């Protein structure tokens, strides 16, 4: 009996969390004029194909999705490598300036994002990277939270494990690859979800850094649909619904590792 | 004429290895260090300089601490500080408590379909700003909003969510809670799952009831994770921008104006970059202060 | 110990992403000059159509019109301006809510078009616009494209049902009386306002009441006039309407559309763009809407108010200013071109000569065969006063909007709310309060 009550409560919370997404998915299947009508549309309409076709025509949906995916994957992969290497150094080596640098790095967590955007834009422009994917990827490779997470979880990896591999004559990178990465899989998965989420949804910086519509990422392209009072919400809804999908798929695939990986940041201080 | 087929530099000159036990850590942190210098340290120092100037482009001039003096005397800055603090004090405890309860539910072996509920409660934290804005503008409408419709089922009169200063703050709290509770719940869930089962078994043998088991085993075991979420949520809320930006624009009557939103308005709306940078530094100091204080508490 | 390949891989990781896709190199040298235009939909559609014709007659110039989106375009332009004009498009479509700020706060950010010959078009545009594009130094920093004089769109069927003759409404006080009758007989509100200013400020109506009195937030000397008698009168009118219960709250996405759809808004004090927008939004209400010039604030006063206008500027750092100006000149000063852009993109043109096109006198079936656009042409013929936006317009707008919200939602006294607002504005901008 108690189990059913609890299940019912959780189902209600589930409804509150997922309800808006359900509405969003339904909205994507209705025409612009019907989307916000009352009572809300909780059943599918017949405009999904039409909305998608219009969206493809106006922003080049396939191309834009390709751009977004490329940038998000490259940014995620790059930041994971950088975080892992730095986290490994912070956790397993002693070197001059280690603690100072670690504290400096972490302290950037508290700086509001908008502040650094103008200097970075000037810099990117001066070296001719504006309107290129590296302009989007490079600034996000050194992620304090990622390095912090990697360091914390690597502290939990016993030194003996590493030393054993070293005794067998493995180089540092080999130790990293053969010994550290296998035990770190859950944390890496958690970090991947976290980084991908940020990269996939990033808006302000790509808006500023990209110039040609063929280079746009999805959030920037969706913003370009907006005109004063004239926004075609049919298109926006399809785009928004599509933009939510990859995250859900990624989370579904990685959720086991993600959940145990999240712990890593908190276990050792 | 001889054709040289040897590949130079491959084996001939024996070199002192560049990568040694001493240099490895430096090489490992090098990419992070480069990224930090170029994309964090330099822009932050540049912003520090900007906070001592007024005007932009060719019209920029050095004014010393004028922007900071102005900040202290600016009623809107204090309003934004007050609003941010209020939302912090109200929202973070509510959210973390809900997240903990949710995690306990999701961890209960009595519950069916746990995987499904877990995915569902995590979904809100995957939302991008565009989707978030569109959804909540429909949820929070007074006359045809989903939330008022839901409340009307329980006989509640329509609430003017965005129209009254009081309810607008509540609306921000609701939106924030919807957005991040699941995320924290999943973190707690991970923590709960890592608590050794035999601790509970031993307590049960000793005759401890569920409440006692919760307070004497679950809470102490979760302590580091609880503190981590408190620190992260505090930092996040102090920098709160998305919700007031897309939902209320800071209104009505500046009741939901947060520090980050005020910073944005001064920079991007009023082109007062020096002042915006000064606000950013004030915010940074506040966030850093909170962070250090909470870390201290954790150590204790 | 790391081997050589390892070290190489390590060094590569940083530049991996770079190598994977490579940056674009800007084209240089001979070949056609390419100019880029930033705009937003649907205006960008009109401009793109015109750009094609332009390329035909100007084989050396290629024009790339990009719809950046509104409001996204402002962040993009602002950052470029703040970075000293770096990375900006050659031609920028700028609304009057941002133009004065860009002119004032970023000297050199926008090109002075006098040196390119813009001066000769001084009198070509609707009256009241040229001062808006003229800077403090006398430079011309934009060419007017779109002008939006305010109108008074009303539901003829609701007015009839309530027994009100719209022609008899001469002043806004008359309109308030009519509004009470309308509310009583039909249940419809007179107008709608986004009372809490959720999302964005809704100040067009207040501003139009100011402009009808030849006033604004600032005067020509740049002094604050937010608490001047015309401002107090305008806010008092709004309060009167609100207290009479005839102002609907339109906050929230799509709320206004819903009220309109349900016949709950009898009047839309919207500008010229609504002539194409209303039919698009509510095709099923065909024949129900009419438009006339708005009532006056004081008996016998002025009706015309330009609630907003948008302009084309040229980036001060563009290497192709001459070519960019050639395009701007082509797009904005030739009646047939301007009219074409109007038909494609729904932008009511600022070029006076364009109004002789039959399109502006054509009866519109949606508006009961009334020549709806002619109402606005007539309004512009009366001539609007210059509006002094100043570089601090954005701040003034925010502060005035806060004042309106406190009047509408907290029942604040208009004079007191505006005095407080004006004081705050003077503090924040270091400006003087007009005597």
Contact A6 B119 (CB under 8 A): no
Tell me how close the Cα of C8 comes to any Cα of chain B, in angstroms.
11
Q: Which residue has the higher pLDDT, B57 or C374?
A: C374
Residue B249 has φ and ψ, to the nearest 5°, of 65, 15
Nearest to A82 by CA among A29, A149, A12: A149
- pLDDT confidence bin for B242, thresholds 50/70/90: confident
- C140: β partners: C134
CATH classification at residue C214: 3.40.190.10
Residues 244-283 of chain C with CB under 8 A from chain A are: 253-254, 257-258, 261, 273, 277, 280-281
Question: What is the predicted pLDDT for the residue at A229?
Answer: 63
Mean pLDDT of chain B: 84
Nearest to C424 by CA among C392, C390, C391: C392
- List chain C residues with CB under 8 Å of B28: 10
Question: What is the predicted pLDDT for the residue at B236?
Answer: 87
Residues 97-136 of chain B with CB under 8 A from chain A are: 102, 105-106, 108, 110-113, 116-131, 134-136
**Which of these three, C368, C395, C412, is where a domain ends?**
C368
| Same structural domain, C298 and C406 | yes
| Same structural domain, C250 and C283 | yes
Distance CA C178, CA C185 (A): 10
| Same structural domain, C192 and C328 | no
| Same structural domain, C234 and C320 | no
- What is the rounded average pLDDT of the residues C147-167? 94
- List chain A residues with CB under 8 Å of B277: 115
- List chain A residues with CB under 8 Å of C18: 134, 138
Q: Which of A163-177, A191-205, B212-226, C215-229 has the lowest mean pLDDT?
A: A163-177
- What is the rounded average pLDDT of the residues B7-11? 44
For CATH 1.10.3720.10, the residue range(s) in chain B are 84-266
Distance CA C395, CA B276 (A): 14
- What is the domain range of residue C315? 33-148+308-368
- Judging by beta carbons within 10 Å of its beta carbon (0-12, 13-18, 19+), is residue B22 exposed, middle or buried? exposed
Instruction: Pull the structure tokens for residue A234.
Output: 């049919």
Q: Which of A46-60, B219-233, C290-304, C380-394 has the highest mean pLDDT?
A: C290-304
Query: What share of chain A has pLDDT > 90, as a percent?
Result: 21
Query: What share of chain C has pLDDT > 70, as a percent?
Result: 93
Q: Which of B273-277, C196-200, C261-265, C288-292 has the lowest mean pLDDT?
A: C196-200
Contact B149 A13 (CB under 8 A): no
- pLDDT confidence bin for C317, thresholds 50/70/90: very high
C196, B134 contact by CB (below 8 A): no
Residue B183 pLDDT > 70, yes or no?
yes
- What is the rounded average pLDDT of the residues B205-216? 86
Residue B80 pLDDT > 80, yes or no?
yes
- B32 to chain C, any CB pair closer than 8 A? The answer is no
Q: Which residue has the higher pLDDT, C265 or B183?
A: C265
- C195 to chain B, any CB pair closer than 8 A? The answer is yes
Rg (CA), chain C: 24
Distance CA C191, CA C316 (A): 42
Distances (CA, A) of C94 to A230, B267, C69, C72: 17, 18, 12, 12
Question: What is the predicted pLDDT for the residue at C4?
Answer: 36
Question: What is the predicted pLDDT for the residue at B146?
Answer: 84
Q: Which residue has the higher pLDDT, C253 or C69?
A: C69
Number of structural domains, chain C? 2
Q: Looking up tokens 């364009």, which residue turns up?
A: C354
Distance CA C331, CA C61 (A): 14
| Same structural domain, C226 and C263 | yes
Q: Is residue C204 part of a domain?
A: yes
Question: What is the predicted pLDDT for the residue at A265?
Answer: 55
Q: Label residue A143 left, alpha or beta by phi (over 0 means left) and psi (-120 to 50 means alpha).
A: beta
Q: Looking up tokens 């191309």, which residue turns up?
A: A63
Distance CA A43, CA B62 (A): 60
Residue B298 pLDDT > 70, yes or no?
no
- List chain C residues with CB under 8 Å of B18: 7
Architecture of the domain delimited by A54-267 = Orthogonal Bundle (1.10)
| Residue C7: CB atoms within 10 Å | 18
Tell me how close the Cα of C382 comes to any Cα of chain B, in angstroms.
33
Tell me how close the Cα of B138 comes to any Cα of chain C, in angstroms.
6
Sheet of C289-292: strand order equals C267-268, C152-155, C289-292
Nearest to C72 by CA among B134, A204, B251: A204
Distance CA A4, CA A6 (A): 5
Question: What is the predicted pLDDT for the residue at C393?
Answer: 92
| Same structural domain, C230 and C315 | no
- pLDDT confidence bin for C30, thresholds 50/70/90: low
Distances (CA, A) of A115 to A35, B50, C325: 37, 10, 34
Cis before C71 (ω within 30): yes
- What is the rounded average pLDDT of the residues B114-118? 84
| Same structural domain, C57 and C85 | yes
Distance CA B300, CA A28 (A): 52
Question: What is the predicted pLDDT for the residue at B177?
Answer: 95
Instruction: Pull the structure tokens for residue A5.
Output: 């009550």
| Same structural domain, C61 and C129 | yes
Nearest to C105 among B31, B251, B271 (CB): B271
- What is the rounded average pLDDT of the residues C207-230? 94
- List chain C residues with CB under 8 Å of A125: 83, 86-87
What 3 state SS string does chain A have? CHHHHHHHHHHHHHHHHHHHHHHHHHHCCCCCCCCCCCCCCCCCCCCHHHHHHHHHHHHCHHHHHHHHHHHHHHHHHHHHHHHHHHHHHHHHCCCCCHHHHHHHHHHHHHCCHHHHHHHHHHHHHHCCCCCCHHHHHHHHCCCHHHHHHHHHHHHCCCHHHHHHHHHCCCCHHHHHHHHHHHHHHHHHHHHHHHHHHHHHHCCHHHHHHCCCHHHCCHHHHHHCCCCCCCCCHHHHHHHHHHHHHHHHHHHHHHHHHHHHHHHHHHHCC
H helices present in C213-295, as ranges:
229-243, 255-261, 274-281
Mutation to test the C interface, candidates B129, B143, B255, most C Cβ within 10 Å: B143
- pLDDT confidence bin for C294, thresholds 50/70/90: very high
Mutation to test the A interface, candidates B49, B113, B134, most A Cβ within 10 Å: B134
C113-130 pLDDT tens trace: 999 999 999 999 998 899
Q: SS3 of C357, please?
A: coil
Which of A89-93's residues contact partners 24+ apart within 8 Å by CB, and which partners?
A89/B24, A89/B25, A89/B26, A89/B28, A89/B29, A90/A147, A90/A150, A90/A151, A90/A154, A90/B29, A91/A150, A91/A151, A91/A152, A91/A154, A91/A155, A91/A157, A92/A154, A92/A157, A92/A159, A92/A162, A93/B24, A93/B25, A93/B28
| Residue C126: CB atoms within 10 Å | 26
Q: Which residue has the higher pLDDT, C346 or A243?
A: A243
Distance CA A144, CA C109 (A): 36
- pLDDT confidence bin for B89, thresholds 50/70/90: very high
Question: What is the predicted pLDDT for the residue at C12?
Answer: 35
Provide the pairing of β-strand C247-249 with C191-193. parallel
C348-360 pLDDT tens trace: 999 999 999 998 9
Q: Which of A163-177, B43-57, B148-162, B197-211 has the lowest mean pLDDT?
A: A163-177
Contact B138 A105 (CB under 8 A): no
Classify the complex by whether its ipTM is higher than 0.90, answering yes or no: no
Q: For residue B11, give every residue at least 6 positions away whose Cβ sits within 8 Å of its Cβ, in sequence order, or none.
A: none
Q: Looking up tokens 């603690």, which residue turns up?
A: A99
Low-confidence ranges of chain A (pLDDT < 50): 268-269
Q: Is residue C225 part of a domain?
A: yes
- What is the rounded average pLDDT of the residues B21-42? 89
Distance CA B8, CA A262 (A): 49
Nearest to C258 among B144, B254, B265 (CB): B144
- List chain B residues with CB under 8 Å of A40: 138, 144, 146, 149
Contact C22 A132 (CB under 8 A): yes
Distance CA C79, CA C82 (A): 5
Which listed CATH number (1.10.3720.10, 3.30.70.260, 3.40.1350.10, 3.20.20.140) goes with B84-266?
Answer: 1.10.3720.10
Question: What is the predicted pLDDT for the residue at B5?
Answer: 42
Q: Which of B241-245, C7-11, C342-346 has the lowest mean pLDDT?
A: C7-11
Provide the pairing of β-strand B61-62 with B53-54. antiparallel
B95, B188 contact by CB (below 8 A): no
Question: What is the predicted pLDDT for the residue at B98?
Answer: 95
Q: SS3 of C198, please?
A: coil
Tell me how close the Cα of C257 comes to any Cα of chain B, in angstroms.
12
| Same structural domain, C73 and C162 | no
| Same structural domain, C173 and C269 | yes
Contact B44 A115 (CB under 8 A): yes
Rg (CA), chain A: 22
Mean pLDDT of chain C: 88
- pLDDT confidence bin for C205, thresholds 50/70/90: very high
Nearest to B19 among C2, C13, C424 (CB): C2
Question: What is the predicted pLDDT for the residue at C9?
Answer: 36
| Same structural domain, C400 and C293 | yes
| Residue B108: CB atoms within 10 Å | 15
Mutation to test the B interface, candidates C105, C196, C398, most B Cβ within 10 Å: C196
User: Which DSSP state fits B91?
Assistant: H
Q: For residue B127, give every residue at least 6 positions away whose Cβ sits within 8 Å of its Cβ, in sequence order, or none.
A: A201, A244, B135, B179
| C241 Cα distance to chain centroid | 25
Contact B28 A104 (CB under 8 A): no
| Same structural domain, C320 and C298 | no
- B75 to chain A, any CB pair closer than 8 A? The answer is no
Q: What is the residue-wise DSSP string for C72-120? A: HHHHHHHHHHHTTSTT--SEEEEETTTHHHHHHHSTTTB--GGGGTGGG
Question: What is the predicted pLDDT for the residue at C285?
Answer: 94
Question: What is the predicted pLDDT for the residue at C305?
Answer: 92
User: Which DSSP state fits B17?
Assistant: -
Q: Which of A225-229, B85-89, C206-210, C338-342 has the lowest mean pLDDT?
A: A225-229
B111, A6 contact by CB (below 8 A): yes
Q: Which residue has the higher pLDDT, A187 or C181?
A: C181
Provide the pairing of β-strand C143-149 with C33-39. unpaired
| Residue C413: CB atoms within 10 Å | 15
């Amino acid at each position: 009996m108690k189990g059913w009550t609890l299940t019912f409560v959780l189902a209600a919370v589930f409804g509150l969390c997922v309800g808006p997404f359900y509405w969003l998915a339904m909205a994507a299947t209705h025409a612009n004029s019907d989307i916000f009508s009352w009572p809300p549309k909780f059943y599918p309409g017949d405009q999904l194909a039409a909305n998608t076709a219009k969206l493809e025509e106006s922003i080049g949906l396939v191309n834009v999705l390709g751009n977004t995916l490329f940038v998000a994957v490259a940014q995620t992969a790059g930041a994971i490598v950088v975080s892992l290497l730095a986290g490994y150094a912070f956790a397993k080596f002693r070197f001059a300036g280690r603690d100072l640098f670690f504290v400096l790095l972490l302290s950037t967590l508290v700086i509001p994002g908008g502040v650094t955007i103008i200097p970075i834009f000037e810099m990117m422009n001066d070296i001719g990277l504006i309107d290129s994917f590296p302009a989007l990827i490079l600034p996000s490779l050194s992620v304090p939270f990622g390095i912090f997470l990697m360091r914390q979880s690597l502290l939990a990896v016993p030194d003996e494990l590493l030393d054993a591999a070293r005794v067998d004559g493995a180089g540092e990178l080999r130790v990293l690859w053969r010994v550290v990465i296998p035990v770190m899989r859950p944390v890496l998965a958690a970090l991947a979800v976290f980084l991908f989420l940020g990269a996939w949804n990033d808006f302000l910086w790509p808006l500023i850094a990209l110039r040609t519509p063929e280079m746009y990422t999805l959030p920037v392209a969706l913003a370009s649909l907006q005109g004063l009072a004239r926004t075609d919400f049919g298109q926006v809804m399809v785009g928004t619904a599509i933009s939510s999908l990859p995250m859900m798929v990624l989370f579904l695939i990685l959720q086991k590792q993600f959940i145990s990986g999240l712990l890593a940041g908190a276990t050792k201080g | 004429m001889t054709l040289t087929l040897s590949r130079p530099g491959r084996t001939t000159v024996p070199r002192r290895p560049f990568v040694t036990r001493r240099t490895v850590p430096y090489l490992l942190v090098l990419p992070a260090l480069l990224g930090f210098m170029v994309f964090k340290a330099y822009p932050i120092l540049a912003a520090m300089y900007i906070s001592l100037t007024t005007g932009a482009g060719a019209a920029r001039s050095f004014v010393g601490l004028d922007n900071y003096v102005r900040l202290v005397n600016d009623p809107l800055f204090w309003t934004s500080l007050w609003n941010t603090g209020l939302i912090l004090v109200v929202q973070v405890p509510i959210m973390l408590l809900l997240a903990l309860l949710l995690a306990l539910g999701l961890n209960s072996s009595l519950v069916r379909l746990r995987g499904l509920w877990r995915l569902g409660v995590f979904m809100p934290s995957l939302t991008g700003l565009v989707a978030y804005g569109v959804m909540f503008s429909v949820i929070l409408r007074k006359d045809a909003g989903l939330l008022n419709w839901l409340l009307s089922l329980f006989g509640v009169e329509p609430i003017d969510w965005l129209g009254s200063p009081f309810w607008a703050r509540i609306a921000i709290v609701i939106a924030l809670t919807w957005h991040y509770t699941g995320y924290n719940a999943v973190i707690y869930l991970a923590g709960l799952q890592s608590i050794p089962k035999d601790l509970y078994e031993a307590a049960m043998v000793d005759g401890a009831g569920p409440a006692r088991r919760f307070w004497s085993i679950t809470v102490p075991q979760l302590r580091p994770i609880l503190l981590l979420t408190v620190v992260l949520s505090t930092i996040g809320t102090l920098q709160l921008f998305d919700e007031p930006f897309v939902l209320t624009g800071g209104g009505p009557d500046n009741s939901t104006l947060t520090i980050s939103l005020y910073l944005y308005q001064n920079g991007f709306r009023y082109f007062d970059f020096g002042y915006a940078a000064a606000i950013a530094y004030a915010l940074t100091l506040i966030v850093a202060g909170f962070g250090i204080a909470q870390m201290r508490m954790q150590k204790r | 110990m790391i081997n050589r390949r390892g070290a190489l891989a390590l060094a590569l990781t940083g530049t991996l992403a770079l190598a994977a896709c490579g940056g674009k190199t800007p084209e240089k040298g001979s070949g056609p000059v390419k100019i880029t235009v930033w705009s937003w939909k649907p205006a960008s559609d009109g401009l793109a159509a015109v750009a094609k014709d332009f390329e035909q007659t100007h084989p050396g110039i290629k024009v790339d019109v990009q719809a950046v989106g509104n409001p996204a375009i402002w962040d993009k332009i602002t950052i470029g301006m703040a970075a000293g004009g770096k990375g900006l498009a050659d031609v920028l479509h700028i609304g009057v809510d941002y133009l004065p700020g860009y002119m004032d706060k970023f000297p050199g950010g926008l090109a002075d078009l006098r040196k390119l010959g813009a001066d000769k078009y001084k009198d070509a545009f609707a009256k009241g616009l040229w001062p808006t594009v003229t800077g403090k130094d006398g430079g011309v920093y934009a060419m007017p494209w779109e002008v939006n004089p305010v109108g008074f769109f009303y539901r003829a069927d609701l007015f009839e049902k309530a027994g009100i003759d719209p022609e008899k409404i001469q002043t806004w006080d008359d309109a308030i009386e009519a509004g009470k009758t309308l509310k009583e007989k039909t249940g419809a509100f007179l107008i709608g306002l986004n009372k809490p200013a959720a999302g964005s400020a809704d100040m067009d109506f207040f501003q139009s009441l100011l402009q009808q009195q030849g006033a604004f937030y600032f005067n020509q000397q740049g002094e604050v006039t937010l608490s001047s008698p015309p401002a107090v009168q305008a806010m008092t009118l709004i309060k009167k309407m609100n207290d009479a219960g005839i102002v609907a709250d339109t906050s929230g996405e799509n709320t206004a559309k819903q009220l309109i759809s349900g016949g709950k808004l009898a009047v839309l004090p919207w500008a010229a763009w609504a002539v194409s927008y209303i039919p698009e939004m509510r095709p099923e209400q065909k024949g129900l809407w009419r438009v006339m010039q708005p009532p006056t604030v004081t008996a016998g006063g002025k009706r015309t108010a330009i609630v907003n206008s948008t302009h084309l500027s040229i980036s001060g750092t563009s290497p192709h200013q001459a070519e960019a100006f050639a395009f701007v000149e082509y797009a904005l000063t030739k009646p047939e071109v301007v009219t074409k852009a109007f038909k494609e993109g729904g932008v009511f043109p600022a070029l006076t000569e364009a109004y002789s096109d039959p399109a502006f006198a054509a009866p519109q079936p949606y508006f009961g065969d009334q020549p709806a656009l002619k109402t606005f042409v007539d309004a512009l013929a009366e001539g609007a006063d210059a509006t002094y936006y100043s570089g601090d317009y954005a701040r003034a707008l925010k502060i005035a909007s806060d004042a309106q919200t406190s009047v509408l939602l907290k029942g604040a006294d208009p004079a007191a709310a505006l005095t407080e607002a004006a004081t705050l504005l003077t503090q924040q901008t270091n400006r003087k309060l007009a005597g």
